Amino acid sequence: MVKEQWIFCPVCGGKTRLKIHENTILENFPLFCPKCKQETMIDARQLNIFVIKEPDAKTRSQ
């Protein structure tokens, strides 16, 4: 039997609308939370979720 689990929002901890299996591989996946309305980039492998930290945009000084 294949193990599965729900993906929870890394910002607010709410349950999202996605479920992953133990053989699911996600890379640079934009996870949207319907509760807090935030989008977070994640990676997922073997039921482990990793949040991708993106550097903030830098403004040009002229």
Note the pLDDT of residue 4: 94
What does the DSSP assignment read for 23-59?
Answer: T-EEEEEEEE-TTT--EEEEEEETTEEEE--PPPPPP
Give the confidence band of 31 by pLDDT, cuts at 50, 70, 90: very high
* Over residues 20-40, mean pLDDT: 94
Note the pLDDT of residue 1: 81
Give the confidence band of 21 by pLDDT, cuts at 50, 70, 90: very high
**What average pLDDT does the chain have?**
89
Give the confidence band of 26 by pLDDT, cuts at 50, 70, 90: very high
- Say which residues have a Cβ less than 8 Å from residue 9's Cβ, sequence separation at least 6: 15, 16, 31, 33, 35, 36, 38, 40
CA distance 41 to 50: 9
